[in-house]
Amino acid sequence: MTLPQLVTISPRATSFTAVCRACARAMHEPGWTGATFAGRLDLDLESGVFLCRHGHEVHVERERAAAERRATEAA
Ligand SMILES: [Zn+2]
């Protein structure tokens, strides 16, 4: 069991393209084409959970939220 991948996007981004790490690792398998997937996160949402084209869970978080979390952890 591995932790879900976390992708950070810019604070004002509403759409993003990410590379699924699990897919990138499986790229050598037959029929596995491409590790990138696109998603959309509305501006009023700080984070979301997405599934890549092969169903791997990828957490997406805005940079602002990630920075706040780091600040909280450092305190
Ligand atoms: Zn994947």
Name the more confident of 14 and 64: 14
Q: 43 lies in which domain range?
A: 5-74
8 Cα to the center of ligand 1, angstroms: 16
52 Cα to the center of ligand 1, angstroms: 5
**Is 23 exposed, middle or buried, given 0-12, 13-18 or 19+ CB atoms closer than 10 A?**
buried
Residues, CB within 5 angstroms of ligand 1 (ion): 20, 22-23, 52, 54, 56
- What are 17-75's pLDDT values in tens digits? 999 999 999 888 888 788 999 999 999 999 999 999 989 999 999 998 778 888 888 77
pTM here? 0.78
Measured between alpha carbons, how far is 75 from 61 in angstroms, rounded to an integer? 21
The residue among 6, 5, 18, 1 whose CA lies nearest residue 46 is 6
44 Cα to the center of ligand 1, angstroms: 26
| Confidence grade of residue 2 (pLDDT, cut at 50, 70, 90) | low
**Residue labelled with tokens 């978080």:** 61
Listing DSSP states for 29-72 in one string gives STT----EEEEE--TT-SEEEEE-TT--EEEEEEHHHHHHHHHH
Tell me what pLDDT residue 1 has: 54
Residue 14 pLDDT exceeds 80: yes
How many domains does the chain contain in total?
A: 1
